[in-house]
């Protein structure tokens, strides 16, 4: 129902996104998009690039007077660090910074081999996580639509390196406030205070750190996704979207891998009656059973590997000379896990918005909102 197309190189002129399928009549404030962009740029361990960029959205089509008009939405985020001498769309590069020493773990090697290149620059340019900026912009727009339907999302950091946060506690608003106040996007203050020096130490040692992010969606509508087709399954769609984030290597839903070591009786969530409603005393399933949302909060996690550009590079082989060398080194993030939490939030929002529109149809926001109410009521007797 929703289709997102993005384009843009890390040091090209700009990043663009076209989002098709939004209902007409959604109010969109520029500030809501810019707040998400600003949040994605924060976090200890980011590269010096984040001091150059000040991501702001420009909307080129699809809005009129701050409301969607049912046509494709076109978003643009300019790169302040546009490398004119190297990445101009027409002028031949005059000062291109070649990448001839592939970074182990990066796309450099596989990309150069695929295209028969001896310089992986243009491969790395498109593979860069810089491209996630416009995805976050599109995610911020669909989050406005989801919020109108009572669904609120939050991405947060649960692990950086070997520092792990305790389970979430408190209500959604409290958790959000703590995550936004944290320098690393973590809901637990004491854990944030441990994560910061862990990142700084890795950075000082020319190394990088990965971690785990979690996205929670409160106010879920039951019945999103499908039990009937493999590609319709909500968990499969979430896994695809999250795995597409650069450096993500693993996905968990609910208890995730931990469920494998427990017994069925310890894993599955009993069904009880609470007043006139069906309810669950626990939510180990993370809000999805059999590919369908069950109305409980959605809980998904993505594991991010440590980034491959290292201050103290690993051994590599020069693509031109064939000599043993140390891998390419350039300005890089030491840890982008806090940013990945914001990107994961956008990715989950796009999947949920798609699944919601698939369930309800509706050309306008008024139709969509009216059709969501009966779905929520289906959780009552």
Residues in contact with ligand EPS by CB under 6 A are 10, 47, 49, 53, 81, 128-130, 133, 246, 330-333, 339
User: Which is nearest to 145 in space by CA: 260, 19, 55?
Assistant: 19
CB of 183 to ligand EPS, least distance (A): 17
CB of 83 to ligand EPS, least distance (A): 9
Q: How many whole angstroms separate alpha carbon 237 and alpha carbon 47? A: 31
CB of 49 to ligand EPS, least distance (A): 3
Q: How many whole angstroms separate alpha carbon 286 and alpha carbon 301? A: 10
Tell me if residue 304 falls in helix, strand or coil: strand
Q: How many whole angstroms separate alpha carbon 250 and alpha carbon 303? A: 5
Q: What Rg, from alpha-carbon coordinates, does the chain have? A: 22
CB of 32 to ligand EPS, least distance (A): 19
Residue 181, token pair as written in the block: 């106040």
Q: Which CB, 49 or 237, lies closer to ligand EPS?
A: 49
Q: Which CB, 8 or 297, lies closer to ligand EPS?
A: 8
DSSP state of 27: B
Kindly report the CA angle at 15 between 9 and 19, in degrees rounded to 5? 130
Tell me if residue 3 falls in helix, strand or coil: strand
Run of H or E residues at 50: helix 49-52
CB of 72 to ligand EPS, least distance (A): 24
Q: Which CB, 130 or 156, lies closer to ligand EPS?
A: 130
Residue 306, token pair as written in the block: 């440590």
CB of 336 to ligand EPS, least distance (A): 7
Residue 357, token pair as written in the block: 């529109």
Q: Which CB, 129 or 319, lies closer to ligand EPS?
A: 129
Q: Which CB, 121 or 178, lies closer to ligand EPS?
A: 121
Q: Which CB, 235 or 333, lies closer to ligand EPS?
A: 333
User: Which is nearest to 9 in space by CA: 160, 105, 161, 111?
Assistant: 111
CB of 11 to ligand EPS, least distance (A): 6
CB of 128 to ligand EPS, least distance (A): 4
Q: Which CB, 207 or 369, lies closer to ligand EPS?
A: 207
CB of 344 to ligand EPS, least distance (A): 14
User: Which is nearest to 327 in space by CA: 9, 111, 105, 49?
Assistant: 105
Q: How many whole angstroms separate alpha carbon 139 and alpha carbon 141? A: 5
CB of 267 to ligand EPS, least distance (A): 37
User: Which is nearest to 17 in space by CA: 1, 6, 3?
Assistant: 6
User: Which is nearest to 183 in space by CA: 173, 193, 198?
Assistant: 193
Q: Which CB, 67 or 126, lies closer to ligand EPS?
A: 126
Q: How many whole angstroms separate alpha carbon 317 and alpha carbon 214? A: 37
Q: How many whole angstroms separate alpha carbon 267 and alpha carbon 256? A: 10
Residue 349, token pair as written in the block: 């929002």
Q: Which CB, 246 or 286, lies closer to ligand EPS?
A: 246
Q: How many whole angstroms separate alpha carbon 80 and alpha carbon 304? A: 27
Q: Which CB, 81 or 358, lies closer to ligand EPS?
A: 81
């Amino acid at each position: 129902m929703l289709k997102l197309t993005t384009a843009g190189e890390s040091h090209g002129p700009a990043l663009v996104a076209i989002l098709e399928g939004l209902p007409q009549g959604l109010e969109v404030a520029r500030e809501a998009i810019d707040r998400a962009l600003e949040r994605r740029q924060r976090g200890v361990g980011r590269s010096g690039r984040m001091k150059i960029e000040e991501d702001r959205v420009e909307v080129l089509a699809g809005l009129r007077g701050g409301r969607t008009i049912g046509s494709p939405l076109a978003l643009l985020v300019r790169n302040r660090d546009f490398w004119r001498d190297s990445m101009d769309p027409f002028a031949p590069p005059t000062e291109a910074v070649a990448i001839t020493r592939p970074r182990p773990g990066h796309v450099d090697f596989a990309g150069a081999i695929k295209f028969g290149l001896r310089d992986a620059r243009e491969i790395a340019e498109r593979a860069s996580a810089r491209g996630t900026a416009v995805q976050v912009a599109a995610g911020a727009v669909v989050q406005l639509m989801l919020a109108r339907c009572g669904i609120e999302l939050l991405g947060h950091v649960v692990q950086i390196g070997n520092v792990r946060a305790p389970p979430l506690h408190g209500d959604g608003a409290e958790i959000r406030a703590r995550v936004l106040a944290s320098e690393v996007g973590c809901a637990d203050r004491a854990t944030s205070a441990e994560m910061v020096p862990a990142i700084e130490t890795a950075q000082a040692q020319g190394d990088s750190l990965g971690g785990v992010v979690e996205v929670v969606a409160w106010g879920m509508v039951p019945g999103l996704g499908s039990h009937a087709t493999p590609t319709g399954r909500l968990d499969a769609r979430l896994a695809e979207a999250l795995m597409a984030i650069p450096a993500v290597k693993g996905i968990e839903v609910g208890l995730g891998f931990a469920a494998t070591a427990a017994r069925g009786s310890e894993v599955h969530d009993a069904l009880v009656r609470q007043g006139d409603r069906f309810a669950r005393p626990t939510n180990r399933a993370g809000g999805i059973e059999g590919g369908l949302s069950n109305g409980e909060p959605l809980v998904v996690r993505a594991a991010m590997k440590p980034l491959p550009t290292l201050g103290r590079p690993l051994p590599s082989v020069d693509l031109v000379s064939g000599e043993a060398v140390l891998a390419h080194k350039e300005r890089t993030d030491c840890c982008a896990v806090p940013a990945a939490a914001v990107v994961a939030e956008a990715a989950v929002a796009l999947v949920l918005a798609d699944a919601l529109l698939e369930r309800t149809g509706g050309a306008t926001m008024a139709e969509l909102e009216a059709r969501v109410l009966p779905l929520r009521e289906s959780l009552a007797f």
